[in-house]
Structure 1
Amino acid sequence: MGLLLSRRRFLNLAAGVAAMGLMPLPASMASPLLRRWRGAALGGPASIAVHHPNPEEADRLIERCVAEIGRLESIFSLYRPDSALCRLNREGHLDGPPSDLVVLLSDCVRFSRLTGGAFDVTVQPLWQLYADHFSRADAAAEGPGRNAVERVLDLVGYDGLLIEADRVVFAKKGMAITLNGIAQGFITDRIAEILRSGGCDSVLADLGEIRAVGTHPNGRAWQVGLTDPRETGRIARKLDIKDQAVATSAATGFQFDPNGRFYHLLDPATGTSAGRYAGVSVVAHDATTADALSTALTLMPMTEADRVLSAAGGSMALFTGPDGTTQTRKGDLS
């Protein structure tokens, strides 16, 4: 569940901006009113589409966004040894943590409480256990032994994450965290707010999760295509969004074993991979919420979704079952 480990994308931007690695859009759908940036963020392809009355100002704002992406990666990355997150995981404590890390970890605890522990960033030791197991040539196909899983589960639990403005500490030696289930959304929100505050009235940002500001410059809603989580590249459904965010979690995002029995959506209660759904997409007011809830809801019975979605401030979730059937649940979207 490493933050910079490239994962497959499940969202295709059907809005005049093609998401890389998925189906390109016809050139006729492109808009000359949009300034575009395409690059990389958090180990995967990223794009930003911006409309501003002054194109030169739009370009300056995009440059500022790219710099901000790099700054936040230096805090949240699991694959940069000098990042704040890596130092915390290595040493078990972090004095004088960056304020962005404190804010995001506080959000993590909030979502953990909201979801009854289904969302839990302290599952990183579980991820490492499965990664180490399946990296061996003689790895047992049935995965790590139950005793090994139980030992690692003793290190998992968001209540062991102690957060203060000037210090972050793990309650147990060997604990570690991953922000893969929320950092993409957090950074997407930061970029959207930079652009909004800079006078951009029409924005579509895809930094692993998608957030729209306003509408497309031609006045229509931004259109986002959800890829079938069982068949990468096939658009299963299109959504119109305005001032909303979309995030998807699916079993095919990252798989530890060739058969796909064990994957990155790990249940902090059982230590096993989620198996309820092929994928869950969440539409919310912000990308941080959409990202966290799409992760958590893959582990939760659908009967609990309405409560969680409403308590999160109004969201919608689309659940795709293993057989391809879909169901939609809505919280209070007012």
Structure 2
Amino acid sequence: MEKDMRQLSGGMMDRRDFLKISGMLGVGLAAAVAIPASAEAVKFDRKLHKVSETRIAMGTFVSMTLLHTSRDQAQEAICLAFEEIDRLTRDMNRFDRRTAVAQLNREGHLTDVPPDMVNVVRRALAHYKISNGAFDISVKPVVDLLKSSFSGKNPSYPTNREMAEALKLVDASRIQLDGNTILLKKPGMGITLDGIAKGYIIDKASDKVSKLGIENYLINAGGDIRTSGCRLDGKPWTIAVQDPHKERQYPDKIRMTNGAIATSGNYEVYFDREKMFHHIVNPHNGLSPDASNSVSVLAKTAMDADALSTSVFVMRPEKGIRFVNSLPGCECLLVGKGNRKMHSAGWKSA
């Protein structure tokens, strides 16, 4: 297991507006809120500027805060990072017929796959392996079935036969990735990158910032968070984990320097009025897991945090905790029924 995770760390739009940024510059805990697109540049002393900007991207609010000696360079980094986010969001959109993802889903095979898509699919298959199938990008047929069943004038639950037929197409081991060629080995298969692409996009935006020599920054994309360095006061960034009921009763807060955190929860998108089927689907049975209300995962990259939070949410809580404990450099916090909190061995509260 540890070997597989090391391979992950080296090989390498469902909204998750759950984790909230707080204590940006040492002024204490303050949850982020959805605000109109905005920009700010403040000079704190002769040597340091804080440059912030918030835009709508990936179907949510994306906020960046950079601390750097050059205001112009920080603003340039933010522009480049948002350009990267926009580019990759377009490329990973399975609903746009022009994208490689959509083409693969239509035709079942694809050559000359773009490098970014190769990276995401390769990492997704690695997560499928280490999670024993809890994370599976081939779950698209089940997601499509749920969406079609509960839409229209006469929404209804899928029949057992319909679900069984859809589940026959769910098996990421039947996805063959060979260089820049992808083959779906069973007709009717399809992939969705919703549970991993967002984290990858945030990592790529982070790379754009780092390559300009900026060491202290924070990127928050609707709850998928990537941090580097520290705040103005030299202390780690502070993240507050909001409760699933969104009553501002935060289950916990943590401090971060270099790393990422992502949250998966049952508080987001439901297919049915009874709220039995939400956007996270168990690939083994087609049902929405209900043992946890939310799962937050710390990892070295947003991509891994994204995929792991989904994996653990699909598992039973105790199994999910054991799973994360086996992964080097990862920690997790689960909020279960009755707001019961469980966490991995190395999870540290602020």
Q: Paired residue for 1:42?
A: 58
Q: Paired residue for 1:266?
A: 281
Q: Measure the CA separation in 2 of the matches of 1:233 and 1:49.
A: 23
- Following TM superposition, by how much is the alpha carbon of 1:215 offset from its aligned partner in structure 2, in angstroms? 0.9
Q: 1:31 to 1:86 in 2, by over 3 A?
A: farther
Is the 1:122–1:158 Cα contact (8 Å) retained in structure 2?
Answer: yes
Is the 2:198–2:303 Cα contact (8 Å) retained in structure 1?
Answer: yes
Q: 1:293 to 1:232 in 2, by over 3 A?
A: farther
State the superposition RMSD in angstroms: 2.2
- Following TM superposition, by how much is the alpha carbon of 1:119 offset from its aligned partner in structure 2, in angstroms? 0.4
Identity %, equivalent residues: 28
Is the 1:246–1:284 Cα contact (8 Å) retained in structure 2?
Answer: yes
Q: 1:46 to 1:145 in 2, by over 3 A?
A: same
- Following TM superposition, by how much is the alpha carbon of 1:330 offset from its aligned partner in structure 2, in angstroms? 3.0
- Which stretch shows the higher mean deviation, 111-120 or 50-59? 50-59
Do structure 1's residue 14 and structure 2's residue 29 form an aligned pair? no
Q: Paired residue for 2:129?
A: 113
Do structure 1's residue 279 and structure 2's residue 294 form an aligned pair? yes
- Following TM superposition, by how much is the alpha carbon of 1:310 offset from its aligned partner in structure 2, in angstroms? 4.2
Deviations 1:177-221 (A, max 9, x none): 111111111111111122122111111011240011011122111
Correspondence 1:205-220 to 2 at 5 A: 205-208=219-222, 209-220=224-235
The one-letter amino acid of 2:20's match is N
Deviations 1:243-262 (A, max 9, x none): 12111000112110122111
Q: Measure the CA separation in 1 of the matches of 2:81 and 2:134.
A: 32
Deviations 1:65-99 (A, max 9, x none): 11111221122112322122112112212110001
Q: Measure the CA separation in 1 of the matches of 2:113 and 2:291.
A: 37
Among 239, 258, 265, which residue is 1:243 paired with? 258
Q: Measure the CA separation in 2 of the matches of 1:232 and 1:190.
A: 33
- Following TM superposition, by how much is the alpha carbon of 1:161 offset from its aligned partner in structure 2, in angstroms? 1.0
Among 64, 79, 83, which residue is 2:95 paired with? 79
Is the 1:74–1:84 Cα contact (8 Å) retained in structure 2?
Answer: no
Correspondence 1:1-334 to 2 at 5 A: 5=13, 7-16=15-24, 19-21=32-34, 33-140=49-156, 143-208=157-222, 209-231=224-246, 233-330=248-345
- Following TM superposition, by how much is the alpha carbon of 1:145 offset from its aligned partner in structure 2, in angstroms? 1.0
- Helix, strand or coil for the counterpart of 1:235? coil
Q: 1:184 to 1:75 in 2, by over 3 A?
A: same
Q: 1:321 to 1:31 in 2, by over 3 A?
A: farther
Is the 1:41–1:69 Cα contact (8 Å) retained in structure 2?
Answer: yes
Q: 1:307 to 1:328 in 2, by over 3 A?
A: closer
Q: 1:306 to 1:236 in 2, by over 3 A?
A: closer
- Which stretch shows the higher mean deviation, 70-79 or 307-316? 307-316
Is the 2:228–2:257 Cα contact (8 Å) retained in structure 1?
Answer: yes
The one-letter amino acid of 2:332's match is A
Deviations 1:86-132 (A, max 9, x none): 12112212110001111111100111111100000111111110010
Q: Measure the CA separation in 2 of the matches of 1:300 and 1:106.
A: 22
Unaligned runs of 5+ in 1: 23-29
- Which stretch shows the higher mean deviation, 145-154 or 278-287? 278-287
TM-score normalised by L of structure 2: 0.86
Is the 1:314–1:332 Cα contact (8 Å) retained in structure 2?
Answer: no
- Helix, strand or coil for the counterpart of 2:189? coil
- Following TM superposition, by how much is the alpha carbon of 1:50 offset from its aligned partner in structure 2, in angstroms? 0.9
- Following TM superposition, by how much is the alpha carbon of 1:304 offset from its aligned partner in structure 2, in angstroms? 2.8
- Following TM superposition, by how much is the alpha carbon of 1:291 offset from its aligned partner in structure 2, in angstroms? 0.7
Q: Measure the CA separation in 2 of the matches of 1:275 and 1:313.
A: 27
Is the 1:230–1:324 Cα contact (8 Å) retained in structure 2?
Answer: no
Deviations 1:252-284 (A, max 9, x none): 121101221111110010111111111111111
- Following TM superposition, by how much is the alpha carbon of 1:63 offset from its aligned partner in structure 2, in angstroms? 1.2
- Helix, strand or coil for the counterpart of 2:292? coil
